[in-house]
Amino acid sequence: MDKVFKRVFRKLRSLLPWYARQRRKSGRKSDQTFPAQLGPLSLIRAGVIPNPEEPVIVAAMRNEAKALVEFFDHYRKLKVRNFVFVDNESTDDSVGICNAQEDLNVTIYSTSQLYRESRSGLDWTNAIIEHLSRIDDYWILFVDLDEHLVFPGFEEISLRKLAWYLRKHRYDALFTPMVDMYPNADIHSPDYDNSFASSKYYDASGYAFGKAARFPLFQLTGGARRRYLEDSRISLKKVAFFNTSSKSLPEISAHAYTLRMELAPVTGALLHYKFAASFVEKVSSEITEKRRTQAQDYELYNKQLSRVCNLYDETISHEFTGSLSLMEDNIMWVNPGFLNHFGKHMSAEMKERAQALSAKDVDRSLDQLFDIMPVFSSSSARY
């Protein structure tokens, strides 16, 4: 009898978010649009307000034409169609490329406010996130243009299906650590291929966890940028995919949030292509324009450009070939409940190898996190 009661209770509990959405929709105007002015932001391309069941990518940009093509290609593969950009006076064809995506629902705001005066663009993106949250509960992917989200089985599973899974189990967010990607090449060579596709290597080891004051309540360091800059302060922790129902907003980019959220026990990762596209030109531009509050980081990049030409290290560099790469290196984690839910969408080989990982290395990694991060709980790990 107790088991029956628990099953009924879980079913009713899972319906609460749906019931809340229906209540909100009943009072929602069908002609709801993005406002022409949103604080310092001016609307220059109006998309439609997205369906709350579909994830929305929110990003700020300036002169990202070289990154945008691969950005759109990647997220098309995840079946994402809703994008809201804030353009900060781009002088290249960034806006034109966004306008050309006729198959996607793209909204563009523009602002002339200095990047460093907007908390590194956070005030702009938070204004958009808050506006959407007043309309409904949305799943937001808050990323930079050089960040590509991946998660276990992303090759076959859309971001919308992932959002549905997280909502069903009442998780607010997905932990998405940054994984610095780099090529096996001399970045000063005239033959250097600066495409994202050529940056297919990452550090498979050298990562460390510690405690932190802001949510999520831990710190993660390591990766290629730490080696490159010889700086232990480089933070890799990010919670880039979250639901607005938590009422939590990014406080320091996606590295820290204003309120605690319920993180899923499965994790994703942000493939961070810092050293691709126009890295050398961007370093020079940031130093000259002094747009960022963390301009000292780019001074360090510039200093190291003359010293380090190739980040590839055969002792720690692994090639990214898919989600299993990060799972086998214990950088991205999956749990049995996730595999049970999405197993039918995965190839037989991926499911078999992922199941072996979920029963072995992943459990140990989550246990280590449980000790320092109270947002994970033994009950949530069941699903």
Domain-terminating residue out of 110, 144, 178: 144
Q: Are residues 155 and 299 in the same domain?
A: yes
The answer for residues whose C-beta is within 8 angstroms of residue 163's C-beta and 6 or more apart is: 53, 55, 139, 241, 243
Q: Which residues fall within 8 angstroms of residue 156, CB to CB, at 6 or more apart? A: 345, 346, 347
With beta carbons less than 8 A apart as the criterion, state whether 33 and 49 touch. Answer: yes
What is the dihedral sign for C-alpha 177, 157, 367, 239? positive
Question: What pLDDT is stored for residue 136 in this prediction?
Answer: 94
As for how many domains the chain has, the answer is 2
Phi then psi for residue 264, to 5 deg, are: -75, 150
Residue 21, CB half-sphere, CA atoms under 13 Å: how many? Answer: 15
Check whether residue 140 and residue 156 sit in a common domain.
no
Residues 205 and 286 in one domain: yes
pLDDT at 30: 41
The amino acid occupying position 58 is: V
Residues in the chain: 383
Domain of residue 129: give its range: 30-144
Are residues 175 and 106 both part of a single domain?
A: no
Compute the distance between CA of residue 349 and CA of residue 304 in angstroms, rounded to an integer.
42
Helix (H, G, I), strand (E, B) or coil at 250: strand
pLDDT at 375: 37
Q: Are residues 70 and 125 in the same domain?
A: yes
Give the pLDDT means over successive 10-residue stretches in the chain (383 positions): 57 54 48 87 96 97 94 98 98 97 98 90 93 95 97 96 96 94 81 83 90 78 83 82 86 72 93 79 66 64 69 95 94 90 85 77 46 37 32
What Cα–Cα distance (Å) separates residue 31 from each residue in 23, 27, 53?
A: 17, 12, 18
Is 283 within a domain?
Answer: yes
54 falls within a domain: yes
Report the pLDDT value the prediction gives residue 170, as an integer from 0 to 100.
93
Q: Same structural domain for residues 76 and 151? A: no
